[in-house]
Chain A
Amino acid sequence: MLKTMMRRAGKCAAVAAAALMMMSVQAAEPIKIGSFLSVTGPASFLGDPELKTLEMYIEKINEEGGVLGRQLELIHYDDVGNASSARNFASRLIRSDQVDIIVGGSTTGATMAAAPLIEQAQVPFISLAGAVVITTPVKKWVFKTPQSDRMAAERILSDMKDRGITKIGLISGTGGFGSSGRTQTLEVAGLLGIEVLADVTYSGSDTDMTAQLTNIRNTKGIEAVLNFGFGQGPAIVTRNYAQLGMGLPFYQSHGVASDSFLELAGSSAEGLRLPASPLLVPDSLPDSDPQKAVVQNYKSEYEARWGSKVSTFGAYAYDGLMLAVRAIETAGSTEPEAVREALENIKGYVGVTGEFNMSPNDHNGLSADSFRILEVQNGEWKLIN
C-alpha cells in the first residue's frame, strides 16, 4: 500500500522535473501529440497502461533529443470510456490545442465517435481500438495498431478447426468489444463451416454468469466454448466455467490477454487458449524472431518504470507512438498530408504487436498470424503456435 503511494509521489516528482526540463528546452516549437484515452471508467484497464506507455516513451524520446530536433509534447484527456466526451476531447485537441497528430481512442466507440471530425479536420489519427470497422472501409486519416477482432475470430476458429472442433457455444459481452467480436465470430464461423449452437451474452457489470453458462452446458453437441469480452467479466466467466465443471476446450479473446487476467481468474484459467501478441511470452520466442528484442525491451522498460505488469493494451500505444514518430521523421515535418502519406507507406516496422505493413488499402498493416495462440499451463502463458 505504502509502496504504491510512494511510487505515486515519485511519479509526481518525475513529472514535475520533466516539466521543468521542458521549459528550459524551449528552443524549437515542440511537436504536439494529442491523445484521448479511457484512463478511468469501465475501460480503464485499456487507457491506463496506454497513457503510462505514452508518458514514459515521450519522456524517453525527449531525453534522447526528440524528433527532428524538436521535443514531443503530450496533450492528454481522459474520456472516461464515454464516446461523446471522446469526440469533444478530439475536437479540443484539434481546434484548441492544435495538435500535429493524435494517438488515442481506447475503445471502438470512442474512436468511431471522433473519426468523422478527425477526417474533416484532416489530422493523422492512430487509433488504439480493435474493431474491424475502424479501418474497413479505409478512412483517409484513420489508422490503427491493434489487430482487428476479425483476425482474432479467424485465429481462434481456425485453431479450433485444427483440433477438429466444429460445433461451439459462444458467450460474449454486450459492450462494444464483445458485441463486435460476436458479430465477427458469427461471420467467420459461417465461412469456416463452424456451427455456433448457443449464443449468449452478459453485460459488463454482471457479477455472475453461471446462468448463461448453464444454458450453453445444456445445449447438446457443443464441443468448445468461446468467450468474447473484456474487463473483469471474462474472469468471472472463467471462474464460473470451472465451477460448473464444463470440461470442454475453452477459448477467450485477446481482450483478456494480460497477466492481471491470470491473477483474477486464478487456477480456473488452466487450459484455456487465446490469441495474443507475443508480449506475454517474450522468452519463448525463438531468437530468430525479429519481434523478440522489441518485445523484451518494452516489457522490461515498462515494468521497471511503473512497477506493474505490462499488458497487450499498453503495447498498442507503444506501436502507435513509434509509428507516429517514424512517419514524422520520414515526412521531415509535421505537415499533416506528408505525415499521413508517410504513415500509409510504412513497411516492415516491427512493433510489439506485430510487423506493420501499411498501404493505401490497409491502414492496420497487420496480418492474422501476428496473433500467437497461447495456452494457460500451470498458471502461466505457454506459446502454442
Chain B
Amino acid sequence: MLNGVMQSRLRGLIILALILMVLPVFFGNPFHYELATQVAIIAATVVGLNLLVGFAGQISLGHAGFFGLGAYFTGIATGTYGWSSVPALMAGAIAVGIVAWIVGRPILRLKGHYLSMATLAVGFIIAIILNNERAITGGPDGMSVPAFEIFGWELSSFGRYSLFGLDISGVQAWYMFASVVLLVAVWFALNLIESPIGRALRSVHGSEVAASVVGVNTAKYKSLVFVISAIYASVMGSLYAHFQGFITPAVASFEFSILFITMVVLGGMGSTFGVILGAVVLKLLPQVLADFQELETVMFGLILMLTMIFMPKGLLPTLTAVVYKRRRRKAGGTA
C-alpha cells in the first residue's frame, strides 16, 4: 500500500522532470526560456496555494499579498541593504510565515466567503502599503532587484555559464534552476499531502465538524497549511523578483491573487499536477492572444468561462477522466 503511494508519487514527479527536460527542444529563442522560467516559478506558487484550496478547502483571494511581500523583502534586503540572496529569501520566508500565522489564526475561524473576504482584505492592505511607502519600496514605479547570488556566484539572466563543459546562457541556467525549484516544490507538496497532516487536512475539507468530532484539531491544521502556502508564495516571490530584476506593487495586487486562484481552479483543485497545467495555460494564454489585439480581453474571458462551464472539475481531472473512460471502454470491447 505504502509502496504503491510512493510509486505513484514518484511516477508523476518523473514525468514532470522528463517534460521539463524535453521542453527546451521546442524553444526557439531565449524569450521562450524566459517565459518557461516564469511559468515554473508561478506554478510552484500555485502548487503551494493548492494545498490550502484543494486540500484544506479554504479559498484565499489574497495570496499575491504574500508573493509580493516575499518579492519586496528580497528586493529591499538585497538591493537596499546588500544582503546575500539566500539569507534574504529565508528571512523573508520566515517573516511572511509569521505574518501569515498572526493573521491566519483569526481569519481561519471564518467560513466560506467570509474567509475569502478576509484574505482579500489582507492582500489589499499589503498592496496598499507597498504602494504607499515610497521611501522603502519605490512606490508605484517599483524598484530594481539585483541578480540572484549565492556564495559570490551570480545567476543573472544576462550571464553566460558553463555546465559540464557546455556553454549555456543566463536564461537557460535560470530555466534549469526554476525547473529544479518546481520539482522540489512539487515533491514537498506531494509528501505533505500523504503525511498525517495531509490526511487531517483532507478530513477538514470533507467535513470540518466530523473532523473535529474524531479529534482532529482543525484550527491547528488549517493555520499550519495557511502558513505553508504563504511561505511557498514568499519564496517564489523572492525568486521571481531576482529573475525579473524589477518589481512593482502589481506583484501583490488583487488581479494577481485572482490569477493565482484561477490557475488552481482551472487546472483542477486538489490535483498538484493539474494546477501546474493551470499555471501554464493562464500564463501562456495572454502571449498567444496578444496577436488578436483588441479581441484579447473578450477571448480571454470567453475561454475562461467556457472551460469552467464544461470542465467544472478543472482541466487535468477532466482530461484524465476522459482518458480513463476511453481506456475502460476499450478494455471492455476486447473482453
Q: Do any CB atoms of chain A lie under 8 A from CB atoms of chain B in the complex?
A: yes
Cross-chain contact of B31 among A76, A84, A91, A115 (Cβ < 8 A): A91
Residues from chain B with a CB closer than 8 A to the CB of A39 are 293
Known interface pairs A77-B290, A87-B244, A91-B31; A120-B141 also in contact (CB < 8 Å): no
Interface size on A, residues (CB 8 A): 33
Within 110-161 of B, Cβ neighbours of A (below 8 Å) are at 131-132, 134, 139-142, 144, 158
- Interface residue stretch chosen among B211-219, B246-254, B315-323: B246-254
Task: Give the residue name and chain of the A residue nearest to B28 (CB).
Answer: A96
Cross-chain contact of A78 among B34, B246, B296 (Cβ < 8 A): B296
Residues from chain B with a CB closer than 8 A to the CB of A174 are 131-132, 140
Q: Say whether A109 contacts B297, CB under 8 Å.
A: no
Residues from chain A with a CB closer than 8 A to the CB of B293 are 39, 76, 78
Question: Cβ of B29 < 8 Å from any Cβ of A?
Answer: yes
Chain A interface, >50% SS class: helix
Q: Say whether B246 contacts A83, CB under 8 Å.
A: yes
Tell me, in angstroms, the Cα distance from A49 to B104 when the chains sit together.
46
Known interface pairs A92-B287, A95-B29; A112-B132 also in contact (CB < 8 Å): no
Tell me, in angstroms, the Cα distance from A225 to B243 when the chains sit together.
42
Known interface pairs A77-B290, A83-B246; A179-B139 also in contact (CB < 8 Å): yes
The bracket for how many chain B residues form the interface is 20 to 34
Residues from chain A with a CB closer than 8 A to the CB of B31 are 91-92, 94-96
Known interface pairs A95-B31, A109-B141, A112-B142; A179-B248 also in contact (CB < 8 Å): no
Task: Give the residue name and chain of the A residue nearest to B145 (CB).
Answer: A116
**Nearest CB on A from B244, distance (A):** 6
Task: Give the residue name and chain of the B residue nearest to A183 (CB).
Answer: B134
Question: Cβ of A294 < 8 Å from any Cβ of B?
Answer: no
A-B contact pairs, 26 of them (CB 8 A): A40-B297, A78-B290, A78-B296, A83-B250, A84-B244, A84-B248, A84-B250, A87-B244, A91-B30, A92-B287, A95-B29, A95-B30, A96-B29, A109-B248, A112-B246, A113-B142, A116-B144, A116-B245, A116-B246, A131-B141, A174-B132, A176-B139, A176-B140, A179-B134, A179-B140, A180-B141
Q: A88-B38, A109-B140 are in contact. List 12 more A-B contacts (CB 8 A).
A: A40-B297, A78-B293, A84-B251, A92-B31, A92-B287, A95-B31, A109-B142, A109-B250, A112-B141, A112-B142, A112-B144, A179-B141
